[in-house]
Amino acid sequence: MPVASLDAIRAKVGSDLGGSAWIDVDQADIDAFADITHDHQFIHVDPVAAAQTPFGGTVAHGFLTLSLLSRMAADVMLVPDTTRLVVNYGFEKVRFIAPVRSGKRVRGHFTLAAMDEKQPGQWQFVHRVTVEIEGEDKPALQADWIGLIFT
């Protein structure tokens, strides 16, 4: 993750932090996620049956796309230069807007919405995240992601 001073990060509240690198979402990733989560619904793992749906083929699990945020954040989210620990605190909201078809690429686009010191050395960050699908108008998801950073 990019590193900056607390003051420099505070100055970015309300600002667009940019986009991550593109990530390929292929059928092997979708199948591996299905195995780990025990979610083998046909729209994810059966290309023949999924071809008969409105999606026209297999699609990634929404939670697979959501889980890629950690990788995307590594490219874009700023952390204080005094960071000792970063913890995922959760989400205010998550909306799965469009399916990610197997073989597509996605990337995260981040805005630092808020930064508050909850107690000395414990910072709560809120990032508004949009996961874009390459070549498509609608995003895969939008979320307000909360993290705690201990300095």
Closest C-alpha to 96, from 143, 56, 55, 133: 143
- Spatial separation of the C-alpha atoms in residues 80 and 83, rounded to whole Å: 5
Residue 51 domain-assigned (yes or no): no
Residue 50 domain-assigned (yes or no): no
Residue 44 domain-assigned (yes or no): no
- What's the pTM value of the predicted model, to 2 decimals? 0.92
Tell me what percent of the residues of the chain surpass a pLDDT of 70.
Answer: 100
- Which structural domain range is residue 81 located in? 3-23+61-150
Residue 33 domain-assigned (yes or no): no
Residue 11 domain-assigned (yes or no): yes
Strand partners, 85: 150
DSSP 8-state symbol, 59 = B
Domain count, the chain: 1
In the structure, what pLDDT confidence band is assigned to residue 93 with cuts at 50, 70 and 90? very high
A 10 A CB-CB count for 63 gives 13
Residue 12 domain-assigned (yes or no): yes
pLDDT per residue over 33-74, tens digit each? 999 999 999 999 999 999 999 999 999 999 999 999 999 999
CATH number at residue 7: 3.10.129.10
Length of the chain in terms of residues written: 151
Report which residue type is found at 89. Answer: Y
Tell me what percent of the residues of the chain surpass a pLDDT of 90.
Answer: 99
